[in-house]
Amino acid sequence: MSRLPPDSLAYALLHAARIDAAVGAGQSLADGLLARVDAAARPAVQDLVYGSLRQFGRGDFMLAQLLAKPLATPEVHALLLVALYRLETRPEVAHTVVDQAVAAAGELAGGRFRGLVNGVLRNFLRQRETLLAAAAADPVAAACHPEWWLRRLQAAYPADWPAIVAAGNGPPPMALRVNLRRTTRAAYQASLAAAGLAATPVGEAGLMLGRPLPVERLPGFAAGLVSVQDPGAQQAALLLDPAPGSRVLDACAAPGGKTAHLLERADLDLLALDLKPARCRRIAENLARLGLQASLKAADCARPAGWWDGRPFDAVLADVPCTASGVVRRNPDAKWLRRDADVAGFAATQARILDALWQVVRPGGKLLYATCSVFPEENGEQIRRFLATRPDARRDHEEQILPTADHDGFFYCRLEKRA
State the catalytic residues: 372
Residue among 329, 315, 417 at smallest CA distance from 372? 329
Under DSSP, is residue 122 helix (H, G, I), strand (E, B) or coil?
helix
- The Cα 56–Cα 146 span in angstroms is 10
Which string of DSSP letters, residue by residue, matches 255-308? T-HHHHHHHHHS--EEEEEESSHHHHHHHHHHHHHHT---EEEE--TT-GGGT-
- Contacts of residue 161, defined as CB under 8 A and 6 or more positions apart, other chains included, come to 150, 153, 154
DSSP state of 394: E
- The Cα 109–Cα 11 span in angstroms is 16
Residue 21: in which H helix or E strand, if any?
A: helix 9-24
Number of Cβ atoms within 10 Å of the Cβ of 196: 7
Output phi, psi for 178, to 5 deg.
-75, 135
- The Cα 72–Cα 78 span in angstroms is 11
Under DSSP, is residue 405 helix (H, G, I), strand (E, B) or coil?
coil
Residue among 2, 95, 93, 85 at smallest CA distance from 41? 2
Number of Cβ atoms within 10 Å of the Cβ of 230: 27
User: Do 10 and 4 meet the contact criterion of CB atoms below 8 Å apart?
Assistant: yes
Under DSSP, is residue 366 helix (H, G, I), strand (E, B) or coil?
strand
Strands 393-401 and 410-417: antiparallel
